[in-house]
Structure 1
Amino acid sequence: MPASVITSLFDPIDLTTTLALRNRLVMLGMTRTRAENDGTPTELMAEYYGQRADAGLIITESTSVSTVGRSFLTGPGMYTTEHARGWKTVVDSVHSNGGRIVLQINHVGRANNLAFLPRPIPPVAPSAVPINQSSRQIVINIPRVTPYGEPRALDTEEVALIAAEFAHATRLATMAGFDGVEIHADSGYLIHQFLSTNVNRRSDRYGGSAENRARMALEVFDAIAAVNGPDYVAIKLTPGWTNNEIEEEQTEETYGCLLDGIAARGSIMFTHFYFPNLADSALFRTLRHKVKGNVLVDGSLTTEQYAIMIAGGEADLAGFGRAFIANPDLPGRLREGVPLADVDYATLYTGGARGYTTYPRASQR
């Protein structure tokens, strides 16, 4: 592709007064199941993320804020000091290679595989609405996956405790040296479950109206922002997406309440939108106008389409996922027009270095 078409992707940007990026290319969070069984990041993970530090910004894979919030046995956590120490090796690797990295923090709610726990603990959700047992079959090559259990509905008072877990993870992220955190409020996980209308059947202050369904996300945001300020925080949203059997009515109203609430709290690092049909989404354009500050777009567009959105002011950052898996030097390849390598899907979740840190840079081929 002509380099002139995608020039905007390589413009530097200051996300905050203390966080400058050398380009607009963001490596999206992607689960790879390479942590220890207790969720502690490994030296292999430090090598993997360090290899991809050419990105303007790296968003880590989904990282749980509690044991009950975990989904996979070898998925990472951020709720113990050992987790933070492990993540510090990852952060140091990225920083030593000139990159910037934020921690994506999450609680999966009812989408939990708890078979690895020493004693059975039911998953939690806004309401006791399980995921269809057969839906687990769509997950390929992730080890130790079991059917979903029926979740326990959170008590009203427990919601504040969940928010406190997110704040604790943020304090640990600060200890590890992260450049910020991203709230994982999408993909059918706990915060998204509160935003939904099929899983959230509550009649208390967290259910019923669009404003109430957005309340939990805002309380999580407030708890995190209290640690280092709102500009240390980003949030990922997938309005209308049905992943993990989520259904949403009043989507525009619910996300409008959430975005208005965030805008009233000051300037955040960025708002991350994923839309499967981003190019044709009127909802994205409606919600985008409610955002104060930077917008990261993610929606399987071509490189040229992302560049056009940035050049036209519709977005500030462009997210790339699997392309970064197989191409650790993706920014350089795009700039120079070097063909991209293909992902080995058989090794996405299998553990070990193969298909993780073994993809060569173009200069090594």
Structure 2
Amino acid sequence: MTDSDLESAAAAQEEGAWRQERISLKDLSRRLNLSPTTVSRALNGFPEVSAATRQRVAEAARLYGYRPDRNARRLAQGRVGAVGLVFPAEATALHDPLYIEFLAGLGEAAAEAQMEITLIPAQRADEIGAYRRAASERSVDGFVVSSPLTRDLRAKELAAQDIPFVLHGRTQGAGPHAWCDIDNRDAFARAARLLTDLGHRRFALVNGKAEAQFAVERRIGALGALEARGLRIAPPFVFHVNMTEEEGYRAGRLCFQRAPSERPTAFLVSSVFLALGLMRAAREAGLEAPRDFSVIAHDDRTPYLRGEFFDPPLTATSASIRDAGRRAVELLCARLEGAPIERLQEILPLDLVLRASTGPARS
């Protein structure tokens, strides 16, 4: 917002004028010198509206007390005002810190959009049925689908039925659909190149489950970057596991028990939780980073375990999973408002943060 916008809002607040009657979309757009269409699209997260304009409109809406009459719109459009999230009832998703952080981002964005989050437990064998029932009963307006597989049947079914949804990640063979993701392939290629620049030649990849699309992309990125420099990862040092501290510890033990001339000196790790276990295994073996090995992990920026909290602090590819949850809901709102699917496919920002866990390979 400009200084004149803020001054006008402050004056209106002092006079109490904006408190006495509900401000309309037309009033808000006139005060911002924007069209009502632009203001509406900004409030609903349409990607063709710039981030700066979306922020300016959101700030003005808060200052002027603008509240869209969403109930009237939903009644007119036949909506219930709810985002659906189906999760396997027998799994431990609600104990997974990354899933909880993603869910927190969903909740923040849903609250701002005055929508509810409907959690739908389902037996793993009946996930598709759960989506079909929720859609046919009109208990939600659309879905956010997380943790996609390489060929994800959930996305394929929802796309085939033209049920609104946004995929957190990407998949193959599902037809046109909305998604938000990070560039996992490029992230791990950049990490691998950094380690080769430091002189490392023996690598390990501690990755997510092999059927997960993000793990496929990270493997392709890492192996491709190494192959371009005449290097490879020996098969015993490619791990596809659940991303837990215990699995990282097991992978680390298998690597660090090798003879010094055989064990990896560089580790590419798909989560800070795996890295936590890896570092525990290293300490038990009397090894430490970066003296004896280097490690780069992926950091989802959870508030309770981040790369900078480690000793030594982890070099990491870094992106906020909470922000991804927020953006997924914003894209779903835009989809419900009629935005074309091809405009609802986004690569979210990702950084490679250099810290003390990486160093030159020992000769």
Question: What interval of TM-score do these two structures reach, taking the shorter chain for normalisation?
Answer: under 0.3
Task: Please report the TM-score for the alignment, with normalisation by the length of structure 1.
Answer: 0.26
Higher radius of gyration, 1 or 2:
2
Task: Please report the TM-score for the alignment, with normalisation by the length of structure 2.
Answer: 0.27
- Which structure has greater helix proportion? 2
